[in-house]
Amino acid sequence: MSGYNFGGLKVLICDDSRHIRSLLRTFLMSFGVQMIHEAPNADAGYNDFVEWRPDLIITDWNMAPTTGFEFVARIRKSEDSADPFVPIIMVTGYTELYRVKAARDAGVSVFLAKPLSAQSLYKRLIAIVDDARPFVRIERYFGPDRRSPKRTDIYPGDERRLAGVA
């Protein structure tokens, strides 16, 4: 797992589980990340976000009283948000398609399902670095472009949209 220098990256981990925060910290440190803040809930996480201005946020979905979903929406849409463009990794054991779509629609950059591994987290970090998506602001959404990046290596045929075929 080399090729990237994450030494200058500032990461905020927001999770109500001390065990998960410790695990994520260990993984991040093994990647070379040195500046890590931890928050035990979304409200403390938002305060850390505003004051510390991390380069990346890793948050859990299921926290009380404020969920990770609400935390992400606040980061993306609040007028006092320190950086609504900050990349966010949503970590959760809930992997149902409707939850993945809800996280995406809230403005999550990438989704990471539990159980966690160093390799799965590293892949998400690389996805954020290599596949940075432009941000989109429309009436009910602000966040990374939800459409998959156009890949020209998959479909060798004609572009239907260019030909006017539905």
- Contact between 116 and 95 (Cβ < 8 Å): no
Of 15, 18, 36, nearest to 27 by C-alpha is 36
Give residue 18's pLDDT.
97
Give residue 99's pLDDT.
85
Give residue 15's pLDDT.
97
Give residue 104's pLDDT.
81
Give residue 131's pLDDT.
75
User: Taking the model in full, what pTM does it have?
Assistant: 0.83
d(CA 150, CA 148) in angstroms, rounded, equals: 6
Window from 27-31, 121-125, 142-146, 155-159 with minimum mean pLDDT: 155-159
Structure tokens at 135: 């941000």
Question: Residue 123 pLDDT > 80, yes or no?
Answer: yes
**Omega of the bond leading into 65 within 30 degrees of 0 (cis):** yes
In CATH terms, the fold of domain 10-149 is Rossmann fold (3.40.50)
- Contact between 18 and 43 (Cβ < 8 Å): no
What residue spans of 4-117 are helical by DSSP H? Answer: 18-30, 42-52, 68-77, 97-106
Phi, psi of 41 (to 5 degrees): -160, 170
Give residue 141's pLDDT.
73
- 76-112 pLDDT, tens digit per residue, is 988 889 899 999 999 998 888 988 888 888 889 899 9
Give the start-to-end residue ranges of the domains of the chain. 10-149
Residue percentage of the chain with pLDDT more than 70 = 86
d(CA 162, CA 54) in angstroms, rounded, equals: 41
Q: Reduce the DSSP state of residue 27 to 3 states and report it.
A: helix
